[in-house]
A and B are shown apart, each in its own frame.
Chain A
Amino acid sequence: MNFGPYVRRAREERLASGGAFSLRSLSGRLGIEHTYLSKIEREELPPPSEEVIVKLAAELGEDPDVLLALGGKVSRDLLEIIKTHPKAFALLLRELRGQPDTTIDRLARRVRDGKW
């Protein structure tokens, strides 16, 4: 699913649950015009800046990395990490392409130490 429709569905679900998630209410909290948000949802305009996407994720209770990825952006902190070892991370990401979530989870997870 693309960024605009994903945001629209998430917003309307929360609105239906009785929250203050009308276009006007939400855009007001984000500090943007409601017409701008409307056009983003309808894909008449591209996704907003990283800063607005992160705020939007917080308002909607969504994962910011997911919304950023849908918006074709990579968060600044991830970019900083990639810049430290660009070749290694590019290789890693390509290696992980197509792997199931369980494999990726396992790679990222640390070994737990317990009581000996």
Chain B
Amino acid sequence: MALELIENALVFSFPDVHPEAKVSIQFVRTLRIPDDESSYSLPPGLGTFPVRHVDDFSERVPMRWKEHGGVMLPMYQSEAMWLRFEPHAVAGHGGDPYPFAIKIATGKRSAVTGDEWSNDLRQGDYCIVPKQPWLDGYVIDKENVRQFVAATLGMGFTAEEQITGKAEVGGIQVEVMPMKREVFERRFPKREVKTSGILRSAMGMKHSLSSGPSYATMDSAIFGSAIGAPAPDMGLAAGGRMKQTVYADPYDFEDWDRSHHGRCFVHLANSLAWRAITQQEAPPTPVTAAEYTRHGFPWFEYYDDGRALEGTKTLQGLKSVMQLGFQKGFSILPENERPEFKSDQIIVLKHKSKDEVREGRWA
């Protein structure tokens, strides 16, 4: 197994399983949807977070980060993120991507079940790629997730703190396992047809919209005294509700090659700590959901066939950032304005099966 960091993406490859068993995982910047119990469509991708090797800054990162190894990226307090999974197409198999089981945890608690981290697969605690192109949050039922939203570890907002009562780990943990080669070759026999991926981005979005001083102001207020001190860890908390299905494994549990796996610890640095560590500014924060929508840019919905994961009581019981803020008497959200959608602003994406015939416009 090899894990490389290429253009801000984690690229896991398993040449000892199959020469083209390779998948990349990107951490995508996005809008934070309102945290008001409505269920929103999928927000766009607004570029990737910059990701760096922890080892490149070993003199300035906390000791725990060095022990964990892996990579780091910057987030502002209450900034949102989603993860993009891109398996590489296998030549000679009609462009079928090599399948992977991918585990995602925050604070070493599964984003799919809320269970404690383990290095092995457990039934129902992973996403299947390519069936699952994105993961935007914690699975709370068959049709919804709660958006991943950054929060400082220790303030009581993260999923880890809600589930365990402790603020010890933070960050994101990723583990990848490939399908067994013989299973791949049996399930995806050689053929010529090609398939294509699905885009989910705000094409043509103006740069003038990419600015959100409210987030930076929030970080300064909270971490103003932290510059020069060990970097405060960020974790992920549960934000607003979003329409996203996380699909159950359509294959057999034994199809996954659990003897080959790769994992990575992704540390989250708040924007001021990022500047102190890297001497670089974190990218400007995205616009608010309301402002983005006022400019007529698209939102998305994605549908595919297949059984959905239902979520667990642990994750269903997570309180959102807004709910927790109300309980605590202070909010970490700089705004929570509800967008006003126009009827044609939501683009519905549907995964086409290999043999599906497309119907065009007739009139």
**Contact of A61 with B by CB under 8 A:** no
The A78-116 residues at the B interface (CB cut-off 8 A) are: 84, 106-107, 109-116
Which of chain A's residues have a CB closer than 8 A to the CB of B183? Answer: none
Query: Which of A84, A106, A109, A114 is close to B70, meaning CB atoms less than 8 Å apart?
Result: A114
B1-42 with Cβ < 8 A to chain A: 2-6, 10, 19
Smallest beta-carbon distance B23→chain A, Å: 14
CB neighbours of A109 from chain B (8 A) = 4-5, 53
**Interface residue tally for chain A (C-beta within 8 Å):** 11
Any chain A CB within 8 A of the CB of B94? no
Residues from chain B with Cβ under 8 Å of A112 in the complex: 53-55, 69-70
Cα A109 to Cα B4 with chains together (Å)? 7
Chain B residue contacts of A110, Cβ below 8 A = 2-4
Question: Of residues 301 to 331 in B, which have CB atoms within 8 Å of A's CB atoms?
Answer: none
- Minimal Cβ-Cβ distance residue in B for A102: B56
CB pair A113 B265 closer than 8 Å:
yes
B263 interfacial by beta-carbon distance below 8 Å: yes
Partner of B263, one of A84, A106, A113: A113
Q: In this assembly, does B71 line the interface, its C-beta being within 8 Å of a C-beta of chain A?
A: yes
In the complex, the answer to whether B10 meets A114 with C-beta atoms within 8 Å is no
A112 nearest CB across to chain B (Å) = 4
The yes or no answer to B131 lying at the interface (CB within 8 A) is no
Residues from chain A with Cβ under 8 Å of B3 in the complex: 110-111, 113
Contact A111 B4 (CB under 8 A): yes
User: Which residues of A approach B to under 8 Å, CB–CB?
Assistant: 84, 106-107, 109-116
Please, could you name 27 A-B residue pairs with CB atoms under 8 Å apart, sorted by A?
Answer: A84-B19, A106-B5, A106-B56, A107-B4, A107-B6, A109-B5, A110-B2, A110-B3, A110-B4, A111-B5, A111-B53, A111-B71, A111-B264, A112-B54, A112-B55, A112-B69, A113-B69, A113-B70, A113-B265, A114-B66, A114-B67, A114-B68, A114-B69, A114-B265, A115-B68, A116-B68, A116-B117
